[in-house]
Structure 1
Amino acid sequence: MAANQGEVKLLGVLGSPFVCRARIALKFKGIEYEFVEENLANKSEQLLKYNPVHKKVPVFVHNEKPIAESMIIVEYIDETWNNNPISPSDPHQKALARFWSKFIDDKVVGAAWKSAFTVDEKEREKNLQEALEGLQFLEDEIKEKKFFGGEEIGLVDIAGVFIAFWMPIVQEIAGLQLLSSEKFPNLYKWSQELINHSVVKEVLPPREPLFAFFKGRYESLTASK
């Protein structure tokens, strides 16, 4: 256990890419914590108390002080425990890392999700194009680097875990062409490096149950068309 780490808790669900971000940061830093599995269909009093605004996971609780929103949690963890830095120390590089992390959430995650789980064809196509444009920007940014953070994983890589692990599941279920080695060779190579990184590999949820869960959601959605 890290020195003077205090009481550390993470409220979440194992299948969430946002919860996974916090778990990667904690694992990367070697912080022991209590994981509290939430049932989002029946939210606990604890979750409603700690995150009354959004009532969502993840919620990180450090010495009874709660923090919500996955990337804010990752940055808090990084600033609280100094070992194995996640963000660059240079202010300009740090600002760029924050920019690309936010870009992933604003331009890729939502659009990719909606392109798979939206019934309206026109809306689906619009979201698909937005996701592909976002991926192209990331392809141009990563270039030949192993990770966005260089030789070791950093803030942008953690933000991008959805792209590396969840996106291939979602696109397979919905029959989409998003991330592929032909279309985005640099980004695809990065995604393989990330999901096979020793820290990330250890906290990723098992693929099969996740695939079955999302397939069920997709089938019930398409059946209701």
Structure 2
Amino acid sequence: MLYVADNNNNRIQVFSLNQSSNIGTTVVSFVAGPQRIYVDTDGNEPTLYVTAVYPYCVLKYVKGASVSVKIGDSLFGCSGISIDNEKNIYVVASYLHIVQKYSPLTNSTTIIAGQRGVINSTSKHLNTPEGIYLDQTSGAIYVADTYNARIQKWLKDAQEGITVAGSSEGFGGGDAASLLGPKDVFVDKETNVVYIIDSFNNRIQRYLPNATKGDTIAGGFGR
């Protein structure tokens, strides 16, 4: 099944990949500006976690429930989201320039990347990050540090990030070694290949392990 955050229509759509029809089914309605979705399939029925522009939080939807459960508060620019095996929720607050971890067990929130309200290009900071990928085995997170034009890897409990793609100094560009406005990141857990939505360069970049340059696998500058 393919779940889609239909932002302008304020809904979540699901499409079957095994059918020829391109008509989706609305599974969540009246959600204000859905940004990202995480689908937890660890159970009899999928549970949806949706980041929303308003009310600046994560909304949890359990199948059959009449209302959503609100998680977090004042997550301005609520964007990328992931969940670990212990059901801790990792969420990007873009306009606060941080990644937060929410523990449902203790009902506590911890900043695990960036500094709240601080924009900078040092290894300890982020600038309007958007996407996130969580390594379920090591606990490391990969952050699309959008306006620093880079992908940062934060090891578990680290105090600063490591640049794995783009410029460590936050300079963007359109060549193979650069990124410009990366929006999201995915890591193949079998090969450790990093895939990046390089938004302002209109392309998808692939970085092999330890590579300093990416290769374009879709799109291209100005296309």
What is the TM-score of this pair, normalised by structure 2?
Answer: 0.29
What is the TM-score of this pair, normalised by structure 1?
Answer: 0.29
Instruction: Kindly indicate which of the two structures has a greater share of residues assigned to strand.
Output: 2
Instruction: Kindly indicate which of the two structures has a greater share of residues assigned to helix.
Output: 1
Ranked by relative contact order (alpha carbons within 8 Å, sequence separation 6 or more), the top structure is 1
